[in-house]
Structure 1
Amino acid sequence: MVLESFQVGTGDVSTVLLHGFLGSGRNLRSLAVAWTQADPRRRILLPDLTGHGQSPALPPDADLSTLARDVVDTLDAQGFTGAVDWVGHSLGGRVSLAASLHAPERVKRLTLLDIAPGPVPLDLSESGYVLDILLQAPPRADNRRALRADLTGRGLSEGLSDWLLMNLEPDGDGVRWRFDRDALFRLHKRVNGEDLWPAVERPVHPPVRCIRGGRSRYVPEESARRMEAAGCPVAVLPEAGHFVHVDSAQTLLAWLMAG
């Protein structure tokens, strides 16, 4: 399945940059632009993952391998041949790990942004909390302002509500959610339970590195030590939360450039 995507940069170092759960490629545009300006060798593809943004809907039994295969199909369709660098935030990182297992010939190296290979416990999943609130919101409303009021009234911050509202589309004289919230709920439960440690602990694998937010719980100390033992260096952005590309954009860029 070919996904909606756009490109930043025209260099010869092919890179795919993958967003997190409930996001879209646009969430990482600023990072991609800054990276290609600092390193003109980069050519970066930013897809909307399956079921997200403007991409096709999720198949009923979609899992991480489904999402990874769709990214590979999109790389092919956009002329990104051979092995490329995969960089993924949160869900995007887990899709990248799945790609290294199911299409290893397409993965040159992996960069994980605040995510670990193991299953994500429900009590650590910020996206699960957001999804629970999203499922309670009405399917449509007369305008964006009404849905924003509903989300903030259920406890979401204004910033997070505005981020979710990027997924609205016109519906007659109102607006509705572009994505299938129930399908995303099923996907969330399925992909968070997948164990991807074989991607970093098998005898031969592409180079893997990770950077985590010091205020985030997605990469616990035990997982960081286990990754380090498997040859996957783990760096920390002390002031960042889960959205490392937002909270510490310049420091993250410097780390990406140094790798």
Structure 2
Amino acid sequence: MQKTMEKTQLQFTQESSLPKIPPLTDADIIAYLRRNYKFAEIATNAERDALILAICDRRGITVAESELQAAGDSFRLEHKLLSSSQTLSWLQEQRIAVEDWSSGIRVALLTKKLKEQLFGASVDSYYINNRKNYKRIAFSQILLGEETEALKIAAALQQDKAAFCALALEYSKDRQSKQNGGFVGIHFLSRLMPEVAEAVSEAKEGEVVGPIQTKFGYHIIKIEKMFPPQLSESVRDEILESLFKNWLKDV
């Protein structure tokens, strides 16, 4: 009886083991994108790159070999690819050739140069006219589904703000804030949902605001830190990208 059971178990294991398949071809991957309705999204990104390359060619924007080399070195450093073997291993994992990787870096450099040529001189004036949009805020939140529950927790927090972390861990419906004790990071005020941005724009550090109703539920926000607007490199890049995206829509 025991032998019969062992034999049956072995047969089941053999039959249920996954079959070995060869690596998928590019055509297989394209078919996957099509049947999962992701092809249009990828096609749009590819068309954007093609448009950028055409515009750069028309405007005579090029990338020198030394620039390509420097950008490649920066990429490897950022991704901790500190040796040739590590780089080659990473390329194999990505299933791309060195030429594909270099091409991607080249497109990124050309895109950056095109943005700068088109809008570099406009960044300062745009920032001055839209300065309030580049105020940043570090905050925590508790997201709840029911207004009654949200009001109850908000009332408790008015008595004990220190309980925010514990309450977020226990009650928040948002996965990120639940995992991080409420903290959701540092964000530009302009990138927040309008209802949230309006409610917290004049709040003070340490203040608890809400509940704020949005389409996702009821948000209780704790202001961890407010960062005054500043034309940093990251803000400059943000402005260039925004102006560039709007321009591409009209090309």
TM normalised by structure 2 equals 0.26
Larger radius of gyration: 2
Q: Whose helix proportion is higher, 1 or 2?
A: 2
